[in-house]
């Protein structure tokens, strides 16, 4: 059977939601793949003025995508830059933090739970056994490096995930992206990419890969990975003399900040399954046509027939 099924799994997970600023619909489907490796996050009210949406397209397994869906937005919220109002910096640091958190005993434990290698109860017991008892009363819940145990030397997962995230606050959208999932906005019917696909043959990516000691063969990093940026994929991040953003493959995201205007109609975040079938403009045309006649949840059901995971967001708070 390999990595693909003989017949696709067409069962869909769908949800929608709204607040007084925006509404969204999302859906995901396993399709032809042997296992579901996508994950997503959608929070209309991450805090009182902020909405968060993210798609995570895993490769080599589901655990990194699920890890990002669980923890990335939490790390953004806790970041000092976010508390100071700098969403872009907080997102960048949250992306890089994912790789740090997936190492060591605590990282191994969380990934094992998400990958169904141990159950949640066993994971809790391991946490109680290996988490240090603080004698000075300091809360170390988020200080993962302090948890020690038989997997303290765990170097992180060999599997990985893309991450494409949009944070909406007031009339501003901040997009962070690592990989080839994509964020597209429709402005007066015209498609504008708010993210860039990080393929190894892009000049800026190629330069970093070669400088870090990697190579590109048949459009793949070291002849293996068809992405130049991703969370996880630790085998490509082993140069101890280079910072995270200069490794062969990096989780360092591009950050794009956009001011919304009255001409902006909707935004789409989707994994690469749809971009293999449609251009950004073709998708915008399709969504625009469907939004004129049906509600978003029916549009999502239509799109999911050709894509694995998609989020469509419309807004009305700035009008």
Is 185 in contact with 194 (CB distance < 8 Å)? yes
- What SS3 state is found at 247? coil
Residue 131 lies in a domain: no
Q: What is the pTM of this model?
A: 0.87
Report the pLDDT averaged over residues 303-318: 63
CATH code for the domain of 178: 3.60.40.10
Summarize pLDDT for 74-115 with one digit per residue, the tens. 999 999 999 999 999 999 999 999 999 999 999 999 999 998
What distance in Å separates the CA atoms of residue 71 and residue 112, rounded to the nearest whole number?
15
For the record, the structure tokens of 51 come out as 């909405």
pLDDT category at 3 given cuts 50, 70, 90 is: low
**Highest-pLDDT range among 6-10, 73-77, 136-140:** 73-77
Residue with tokens 């009210």: 45
Residue 48 lies in a domain: yes
Residue 145 lies in a domain: no
For the record, the structure tokens of 120 come out as 């949640």
> How many whole angstroms from its chain centre is CA 103?
18
Q: Is the model's pLDDT at 274 over the cut of 90?
A: no
Instruction: Name the residue among 130, 32, 46, 132 with its Cα closest to residue 82.
Output: 46
Residue 137 lies in a domain: no
Q: In this predicted structure, which of 138-142, 210-214, 305-309 has the lowest mean pLDDT?
A: 138-142
pLDDT attached to residue 306: 44
Residue 116 lies in a domain: no
pLDDT attached to residue 30: 58
**Highest-pLDDT range among 140-149, 243-252, 294-303:** 243-252
Residue 108 lies in a domain: no
pLDDT attached to residue 7: 62
Report the pLDDT averaged over residues 251-266: 95
Is 11 in contact with 26 (CB distance < 8 Å)? no
Q: Is the model's pLDDT at 28 over the cut of 80?
A: no
pLDDT category at 168 given cuts 50, 70, 90 is: very high
211-221 as b/e, with b when 16 or more CB fall inside 10 Å?
Answer: ebebebeeebb
Max CA-CA distance within the chain? 63
What does 169-201 look like in DSSP terms, one character per residue?
ETTEEEEEEESS-EEEEEETTEEEESS----TT
Q: How many CB atoms lie within 10 A of CB 17?
A: 14
Q: Is the model's pLDDT at 292 over the cut of 50?
A: yes
Report the pLDDT averaged over residues 194-198: 97
pLDDT category at 151 given cuts 50, 70, 90 is: confident
Task: Give me the chain's average pLDDT, please.
Answer: 84
What distance in Å separates the CA atoms of residue 241 and residue 318, rounded to the nearest whole number?
47
Q: Is the model's pLDDT at 316 over the cut of 70?
A: no
Residue 43 lies in a domain: yes
Which position has the higher pLDDT, 277 or 208?
A: 208
Q: Is the model's pLDDT at 310 over the cut of 80?
A: no
pLDDT attached to residue 287: 85
**Secondary structure element (H or E) that encloses residue 273, with its range:** helix 272-275
Domain ranges, residue 43: 4-103+155-315
What distance in Å separates the CA atoms of residue 194 and residue 268, rounded to the nearest whole number?
10
Residue 208 lies in a domain: yes
pLDDT attached to residue 307: 46
Q: How many domains are contained in the chain?
A: 1
What does 66-129 look like in DSSP terms, one character per residue?
HHHHHHHHHHHHHSHHHHTT-HHHHHHHHHHHHHHHTSHHHHHHHHHHHTTSS-HHHHHHHHHH
What distance in Å separates the CA atoms of residue 55 and residue 269, rounded to the nearest whole number?
7
């Amino acid at each position: 059977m390999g990595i693909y099924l003989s017949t696709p799994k067409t069962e869909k997970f769908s949800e929608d939601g709204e607040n007084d600023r925006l509404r969204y619909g999302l859906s995901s489907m396993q399709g032809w793949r042997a296992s579901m490796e996508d994950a997503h996050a959608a929070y209309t009210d991450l805090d009182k003025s902020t909405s968060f949406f993210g798609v995570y397209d895993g490769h080599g397994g589901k655990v990194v995508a699920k890890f990002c869906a669980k923890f990335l937005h939490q790390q953004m919220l806790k970041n000092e830059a976010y508390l100071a109002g700098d969403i872009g910096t907080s997102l960048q640091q949250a992306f890089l933090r994912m790789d740090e958190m997936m190492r060591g005993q605590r990282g191994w434990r969380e990934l094992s739970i998400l990958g169904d290698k141990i159950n949640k109860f066993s994971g809790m017991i391991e946490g109680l056994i290996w988490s240090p008892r603080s004698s000075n009363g300091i809360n170390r819940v988020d200080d993962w490096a302090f948890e020690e145990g038989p997997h303290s030397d765990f170097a992180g997962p060999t599997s990985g995930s893309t991450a494409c995230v949009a944070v909406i606050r007031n009339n501003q959208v901040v997009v962070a992206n690592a990989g080839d999932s994509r964020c597209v906005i429709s402005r007066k019917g015209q498609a504008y990419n708010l993210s860039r696909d990080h393929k190894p043959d892009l000049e800026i990516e190629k330069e970093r890969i070669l400088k870090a000691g990697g190579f590109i063969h048949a459009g793949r990093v070291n002849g293996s990975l068809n992405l130049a940026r991703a969370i996880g994929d630790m085998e490509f991040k082993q140069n101890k003399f280079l910072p995270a953003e200069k490794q062969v493959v990096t989780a360092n995201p591009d950050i794009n900040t956009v001011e919304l205007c009255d001409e902006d109609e909707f935004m789409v975040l989707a994994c690469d399954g749809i971009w293999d079938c449609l251009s950004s403009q073709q998708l915008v045309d399709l969504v625009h046509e469907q939004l004129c006649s049906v509600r978003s949840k029916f549009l999502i059901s239509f799109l999911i027939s050709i894509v694995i995971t998609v989020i469509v967001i419309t807004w009305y708070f700035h009008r």
